[in-house]
Amino acid sequence: MQGRLTLGVTVIVCMGVMGVADAQPKDPRLQPKRLSSVGDSITEAINAEEYNLFSPINPNHWASYANGYRGFWEWLLGRTNVNSHNQRITSAFGSSGRKNYMEGLSGADSYDLLPQMQQSVGRQATYVPVLMGHNDVCQNDFADIPTDAEFEANLRAGLEALRTGLPNGATIYVLAIVDIYKLWELGDELTSLGLINCQVVWAATLFDIYPCGTMLSPNNSEADRQYTRSRNLAFNQIIEDVVAEYEANDPHHHYSFTDETFLYDFTPSQVSGFDCFHPSAQGQKELSRVTWDDGPFGN
């Protein structure tokens, strides 16, 4: 009886703290001029178009779907213009008061959502795109992949920090984890291009030099890879459900989710010519396009 009462009180307190669904209108949406992206190596655009043979992890921030920009070197070398969220914001809302922060870090996973989102709070961001979870499914061992409950707890901890810390009217845009099985599939086709031998690159996962053994290790069976994909799908469902719940219950902030990142059919030229796995600058460009168009500031 006491347990049931405690549960009832908890539910009432939660509803009070978070507000009740359709009961209150939302605070007006702020312009997304203070961008603070949360994520991992995909947000950092690792190995997108520029790489160094002696280092497996080469950030290409200029090519990030979220924070990308175009400067002197990008112009000189004719790099792909990714038309990132950052560029689109300047184009749509002007350059005054613009801030472009990247909290994303290669190797980050759902356990880093809280610290990265706390940084976004510190920036007083008005727009927080989130693309995280690839390193939850990309692990050295299958038993390192978090359970649903662990993943959900991490996501909630981060979103709670945003809910209590971001300025009212800020937008949180959470993207589904990219279908990493599809990225793996492209390896054979990249090898057929004759530009890189993906099997050799991925063999490095055996020595933990290169992450994502649960998808890329040559020792994996097809069932192993499809198991990893099933975790990919399960985590995306959690993201969708939790984001919908926050959108319904928090009257002060705007939350959106898109699964376009998962559904997008990457092609070989949209995958890094260095590691055969991360999106290339062309891939980042497409990520930017599909997520912006489907997002809160898109068409």
List residues binding other proteins (CB under 8 A): 49-51, 53, 73, 75-78, 141-147, 185-186, 189, 192-197, 221-224, 226-227, 230-231, 265, 267-270, 273-274
**Measured distance CA(38)–CA(66) in Å, rounded:** 9
d(CA 258, CA 124): 23
Residue 49: how many CA atoms within 13 Å on its side-chain side?
A: 21
Nearer Cβ to other proteins (40/49): 49
Min CB(233)–other proteins separation in Å: 11
Question: Minimum CB separation from other proteins for residue 182, in Å?
Answer: 8
CB of 227 to other proteins, least distance (A): 4
- Centre a 10 Å sphere on the Cβ of residue 223 and count the other Cβ atoms it contains: 8
For the bound state, the minimum distance from the C-beta of residue 71 to other proteins, rounded and expressed in Å, comes to 10
CB of 259 to other proteins, least distance (A): 18
Name which of 49 and 294 has its Cβ closer to other proteins.
49
What is the smallest separation between the CB atom of 262 and other proteins, expressed in angstroms? 15
> With respect to other proteins, which residue has the nearer C-beta, 58 or 258?
58
CA of 212: how far to CAs of 133, 220, 231, 240, 276, in Å?
Answer: 12, 11, 13, 24, 12
> d(Cα 219, Cα 203) in Å, to the nearest integer?
9
Q: Please say which residue, 18 or 234, places its beta carbon nearer to other proteins.
A: 234
Q: How far is the CB of 53 from other proteins (least distance, A)?
A: 7
Cβ distance to other proteins smaller for residue 10 or 147: 147
The upper half-sphere exposure of residue 174, i.e. CA atoms within 13 Å in the direction of its Cβ, equals: 27
Q: Are 285 and 48 in contact (CB under 8 A)?
A: no
The rounded distance, in Å, linking the Cα atoms of 63 and 46 is: 9
The pair phi, psi for residue 55, each rounded to 5°, is -140, 125
Q: CA triplet 286, 198, 203: central angle to 5 degrees?
A: 125
Q: Which is nearer to other proteins, 50 or 152 (CB)?
A: 50
Nearer to other proteins, 57 or 248 (CB): 57
Alpha helices by DSSP H, the chain: 2-18, 72-76, 85-93, 113-122, 134-137, 148-165, 180-193, 198-203, 213-216, 222-249, 260-263, 281-293
Q: Which among 216, 217, 273, 208 has a CA at the least distance from the CA of 46?
A: 273
